[in-house]
Amino acid sequence: MEKIKFKYHPNIYEDDILVHENGVCQCCGKKVSEYIEHIYSSEDVNCICLQCVSDGTAAVKFDAEFVSCAETVSDLEKNDELFHRTPGYLGWQDEYWLACCDDYCQYLGRVGIDELKDMGIKDEVLEEYVQREDAYSHEVVEEYMYKDGDMSGYLFKCIHCGKYHLWVDAN
Ligand SMILES: [Zn+2]
Ligand SMILES: [Zn+2]
């Protein structure tokens, strides 16, 4: 079976937002071995297959969103794709999806300072990050941000200009 792809969440199969357990999709009723349980809906939904996320049927059926918050993008179709047809990510706080070039970025995964150093982009993304409103300071992030620590980084990449962007949250 061909794997479903998400434009804004290309690494979904390596990400812990995807639950690898047997379940029954509450939208299409099919038995599945991987599903999304991280859903914002007033209804009690906790098992949606990737197909029903990707084609938007679950969002419509349960008046649901999969992402909590994002930067502003002018195209409403892109907005619809992110909130209603893209799985979110797990952080200490609710998602905050970054945008660039008037489009949402691809979410690549959780990172710490070590991962950013390995990629050679630590200074570039930190310099940009600390300019953001309410950002943690450069010193704090540099000292405490670990991939799976009490302060985590979330790495994004622009689909258009290729620039990396960082979001940080903490326990
Ligand atoms: Zn389904
Ligand atoms: Zn860009």
Instruction: Specify if 130 maps to a domain.
Output: yes
Say whether pLDDT at 25 is over 80: yes
Give the C-alpha separation, 101 to 47, whole Å: 33
Say whether pLDDT at 1 is over 80: no
Residue 111's DSSP bridge partners are 153
Instruction: Specify if 107 maps to a domain.
Output: yes
Domain total in the chain? 1
Q: How far is C-alpha 157 from the geometric centre of its chain's CA atoms? A: 11
Instruction: Specify if 42 maps to a domain.
Output: no
Q: Residue 106 is which amino acid? A: Q
Ligand nearest to the CA of 165: 2
Instruction: Specify if 6 maps to a domain.
Output: no
Q: How far is the CA of 62 from the centre of ligand 1 (A)?
A: 12
pLDDT at 168: 97
DSSP string, 79-108: HHHHHHHS-----SSS-EE-EETTEEPEEE
Backbone CA torsion sign across 105, 111, 113, 117: negative
Instruction: Specify if 62 maps to a domain.
Output: no
Q: What is the pTM of this model?
A: 0.95
Instruction: Specify if 13 maps to a domain.
Output: no
pLDDT at 160: 98
Instruction: Specify if 85 maps to a domain.
Output: no
The predicted model gives 57-67 an average pLDDT of 98
Q: How far is the CA of 5 from the centre of ligand 1 (A)?
A: 15
pLDDT in tens, 113-142: 999 999 999 999 999 999 999 899 999 999
Q: How far is the CA of 74 from the centre of ligand 1 (A)?
A: 30
Q: Residue 127 is which amino acid? A: E
How high is the mean pLDDT of the chain? Answer: 97
Ligand nearest to the CA of 29: 1
Q: Which of 60, 85, 83 is nearest to 4 (CA)?
A: 85
**Domain range enclosing 160:** 98-171
Q: How far is the CA of 11 from the centre of ligand 1 (A)?
A: 20
The predicted model gives 150-156 an average pLDDT of 97
Ligand nearest to the CA of 30: 1
Q: How far is the CA of 77 from the centre of ligand 1 (A)?
A: 22
Ligand nearest to the CA of 162: 2
pLDDT at 2: 80
